[in-house]
Amino acid sequence: MAANTVLNSNSKNVALTVLATSDVHANLLSYDYYADAASDRPALCRVASVIATERSKSENTLLLDNGDFLQGTPLSDLFVDLSPPDTLENPVISAMNHLKYDAAALGNHEFNLSLSALKGTLSGAHFPCLCANLVPTKAGAAETKGVWQPHVMLERAVTDQEGAQHTIKIGIFGVMPPQVLSWDRSRIGEKLVAHDIVQTARDCVASLKSQGADVIIALAHTGLSGVPVFAGMENAGVGVADIKGIDALVLGHSHLAFPGKGQPDHPALDPENARIHGTPALMPAAGGRFLGKFDLTLSPTDSGWSVTSVHAELLDASPEAAQEDPALVEILQPAHNWLLDEIRRPVGRVDQPLHSYFGLLPGNMGVQVVAEAQARYVKAQLSGTPYAELPLLSASAPQKCGGRGGTAHFTDIPAGPIALSHITDLQYFPNDICALVMTGAELVDWLEMSASIYRQILPDQGDQPLLDPEFPPYNSDTIFGVRYRIDLSQPARYGRDGSIQNPAANRIHDVQFEGAPIDPAQKFVVAVNNYRAGGGGYVPHITPDRIILEKTTKVRDLITAYLVDVDGRLGKPQCPWAFAPVSGAAATFPTGPAAQPYLQTSSDVTLVSKQPDGFLLCRYDLA
């Protein structure tokens, strides 16, 4: 806020409403493309109705997005991967242009696209795209020219309370986690340089102030953390909020709501007033669940305008609160119809169901199929190289296991013919294939990190919760090609952020390769996706120098090829690991209601109860 003298005239005050989305992840329509069925789920087409209502209440509005808008559903991902008709515009850009977004920050998932694809896609945007802390190198200069800018100064005509017109200058900047350079290294690692979020934000505020901004809005595609701010941190929202001069702060990335549950315990957070360090701040969750709304009052000063009050709140855009906007649905219909034809295209068959309802228990066939597809491709790629002499392993994790995604966020593929929709259901993220070289000792540490998703289970205490709900399932790998046991009576060695919590803890036992104890010094090739190879998941020892194979080939394509090669005959689960017995104890975990048929055929999992939130609570006996 400008430190200028406010003139005494309330009638000349200007009311400005700033609306914001974040982490929409291309959830444009209430349609489940994985199940190929209409669905009652949040989507941008419902947010559009809330936007229209809010615009009808205010003469002066801005609509902004805080990143991760281009990736996340087959409607967006396959539009880039396949060859849609030239007559179709990218549906995400079509939707955002129709809704007349004023600006959008880039999120890390925008870089799931190659820079050339990103440039082509964003060239159709009728709004500026912002990112201040990613700067092109000489190698990336041509592909990024004109794609985004650090910040923008919007000069907007606004109406005061007397009906008089004025022009105000609104400065907006965007920042994102610098870790994106690792996560998407195969596409951008040599082409961009990443800078610290907080320092970049501080520089942007100073720059926009020097240009005479009356209002400064931060689009910070970053979450909140309870630890002290440090340079290069992924979730740096608390540090950004501590920068003086920001009038409204939009947060994201972690898919949580602020104000809302699940945020860290930090003295700077004031959820009752939607403030962090006194700065008005909102995080609109993900998938179009909420629309952020800031109501700002601007008063004239002797040199411009000053923000004198801000009210911030999240507006409900759930199916219970918001109807689909028919105009937006109509605009998206051609792309939707094209995609349905594509995802219904047969690609093979499977001789048994693949699901993730018990995806974090031993013996999940869906995880195994991904691992085998990865290993088959890497083996062929390394043939004739020195690495072909090393043992080949493959790491894979379940990608849809409920959690923040809700009761339907599970892979569920029936036995029989499968289509492209089923492949995207199994491989939810548009990852590429990579391979690493790791030692036996490093693999054990990797498994310790993956096992940190489980809570400690104490003997003779009966039913106890199995999972840390804040640990992403896609960071809990099974490594195929070795065998091992997980002792849950031990505490987790690592925190979900990779920090060492209990250095003496050893959950991983009896690690064997080819029937013998693993040699700590033995080198292995491990097939992985590019997210893991780039450091995603905080696995110890994974650094860029360990990467020996880095392709832009999609894991989804590898799965399709693998299923064709084996003619859908998947065999028995390899089950490379098991829980060590814990006497007098059982583990409980939530799963989706559609798991009922699989419960009837499982000898290890039993139903405890149906929960108020719609999940089923199940039991796994550890005794």
For residues 213-224, average pLDDT = 98
Q: What is the mean pLDDT of the chain?
A: 96
Q: What is the pLDDT of residue 1?
A: 38
For residues 148-175, average pLDDT = 96
For residues 109-132, average pLDDT = 97
Residue 480's pLDDT band, with cuts at 50, 70 and 90, is very high
Higher pLDDT, 9 or 196: 196
Residue 6's pLDDT band, with cuts at 50, 70 and 90, is low
Contact 155, 166 (CB under 8 A): no
Residue 483 belongs to what H/E stretch?
strand 483-486
Share of the chain above pLDDT 90, in %: 95
Q: What is the pLDDT of residue 621?
A: 95
pLDDT tens column, 402-456: 998 899 999 999 999 999 999 999 999 999 999 999 999 999 999 999 999 999 9
Answer whether 10-339 and 346-621 agree in fold. Answer: no
* Residue 482: closest CA among 532, 425, 535, 444: 444
Q: What is the pLDDT of residue 3?
A: 44
Q: How far apart are CA 29 and CA 336, in angstroms?
A: 9
pLDDT tens column, 361-382: 999 999 999 999 999 999 999 9
Q: How far apart are CA 116 and CA 62, in angstroms?
A: 29
Q: What is the pLDDT of residue 9?
A: 56
User: Residue 603: is its pLDDT beyond 90?
Assistant: no
Q: What is the pLDDT of residue 11?
A: 74
Q: What is the pLDDT of residue 189?
A: 87
pLDDT tens column, 520-555: 999 999 999 999 999 999 999 999 999 999 999 999
User: Residue 256: is its pLDDT beyond 70?
Assistant: yes
Q: Which CATH architecture has domain 346-621?
A: Alpha-Beta Complex (3.90)
Residue 421 belongs to what H/E stretch?
helix 420-426
For residues 390-401, average pLDDT = 97
Owner of token pair 């492949």: 423
User: Residue 590: is its pLDDT beyond 70?
Assistant: yes
How wide is the angle at C-alpha 180 spanned by C-alphas 177 and 183, nearest 5°?
A: 135
Q: How many residues does the chain have?
A: 623
Query: For the chain, how many helices (H) and strands (E)?
Result: 16, 35
Q: Which fold has domain 10-339?
A: Purple Acid Phosphatase; chain A, domain 2 (3.60.21)
Domain spans of the chain? 10-339, 346-621
pTM of the model: 0.91
Q: How far apart are CA 606 and CA 617, in angstroms?
A: 9
Owner of token pair 């990579």: 434
User: Residue 4: is its pLDDT beyond 60?
Assistant: no
Residue 94 belongs to what H/E stretch?
helix 91-98
User: Residue 8: is its pLDDT beyond 70?
Assistant: no
Q: What is the pLDDT of residue 310?
A: 98
Nearest 10 degrees: Cα torsion 476, 178, 439, 391: 70
Q: How far apart are CA 387 and CA 269, in angstroms?
A: 50
The region, left, alpha or beta by phi > 0 then psi within -120 to 50, assigned to residue 485 is beta
Owner of token pair 């559903």: 73
Owner of token pair 């962090």: 276
The widest CA-to-CA distance across the chain, in whole angstroms, is 83
Residue 180's pLDDT band, with cuts at 50, 70 and 90, is very high
For residues 109-114, average pLDDT = 95
pLDDT tens column, 334-343: 999 999 999 9
Q: How far apart are CA 400 and CA 594, in angstroms?
A: 14
The region, left, alpha or beta by phi > 0 then psi within -120 to 50, assigned to residue 73 is beta
pLDDT tens column, 490-501: 999 999 999 999
Structure tokens at 453: 């998703």
Contact 568, 351 (CB under 8 A): yes
Owner of token pair 């796994």: 620
Nearby residues of 157 by Cβ (< 8 Å), 6 or more positions away: 165, 166, 167
CA distances from 519 to 11, 32, 149, 574, 576 (A): 78, 46, 50, 22, 17
